Homo-oligomer: A and B are copies of this chain.
Amino acid sequence: MEAGTDVDVCTKWSETLRVYHNTSCELENELQAKHDLGLSEFEVLLILGRACGEQAGYKARMKDIEAEMYLSQSALSRTVTRLEKAGLVTRAACDFDRRANFLMLTPSGLERFEAAKPTHRAVLVKHLTDPAASARAETCA
């Protein structure tokens, strides 16, 4: 039983690694090439964008966004800085708690997000529906 478990676990891990690397590499490449967005940056837009729908009024606190993604607090801070410099997002002080920052999509940010969404979805469908299609990518090692 031990050996059996080992084999299963190793195989499962290999499979997870394969899917993760192929998918995230292609996501990164496609989003960068077509929309000038890193994957982390897109993920922030995704969190803001999917809640906001068509009106650009949705706000989220940094802490809440952090809780939704696998990114350290410092990395998120810098990612948001990049998005802010690109004009896709604005920081706004919180009325109640002046330690906190609200984050909002700008119209330009919403536009960029909507443009990138199909690219994101397409890569996911490609790699997660047909395992055979998710062959080793040519870039990203």
Task: Give residues in A with beta carbon < 8 Å to B.
Answer: 5-6, 9-10, 12-13, 16-21, 23, 66, 69-73, 75, 121, 124-125, 128-129, 140-141
Complex A-B, nearest 10 residue pairs according to Cβ-Cβ distance, in ascending order: A72-B141, A21-B70, A20-B20, A9-B124, A12-B128, A9-B128, A71-B141, A13-B124, A9-B125, A70-B141
Measured between beta carbons, the chain B residues less than 8 angstroms from A75 are: 141
Q: How far is the CB of A78 from chain B (nearest CB, A)?
A: 13
Say yes or no: A9-B121 contact (C-beta < 8 A), given A16-B19, A19-B16: yes
Known: A13-B23, A21-B70. 14 other contacts (CB 8 A): A5-B129, A6-B121, A6-B125, A9-B125, A13-B124, A16-B20, A16-B23, A16-B128, A17-B20, A17-B70, A20-B20, A69-B141, A70-B140, A72-B140
Q: How far is the CB of A24 from chain B (nearest CB, A)?
A: 8
Measured between beta carbons, the chain B residues less than 8 angstroms from A129 are: 5, 9
A72 CA to B25 CA, complexed, in Å: 12
Q: Decide if B141 touches A13 in the complex (CB within 8 Å).
A: no
Q: How far is the CB of A53 from chain B (nearest CB, A)?
A: 15
Measured between beta carbons, the chain B residues less than 8 angstroms from A16 are: 16, 19-20, 23, 128
Measured between beta carbons, the chain B residues less than 8 angstroms from A124 are: 9-10, 13
Closest to A27 in B: B13
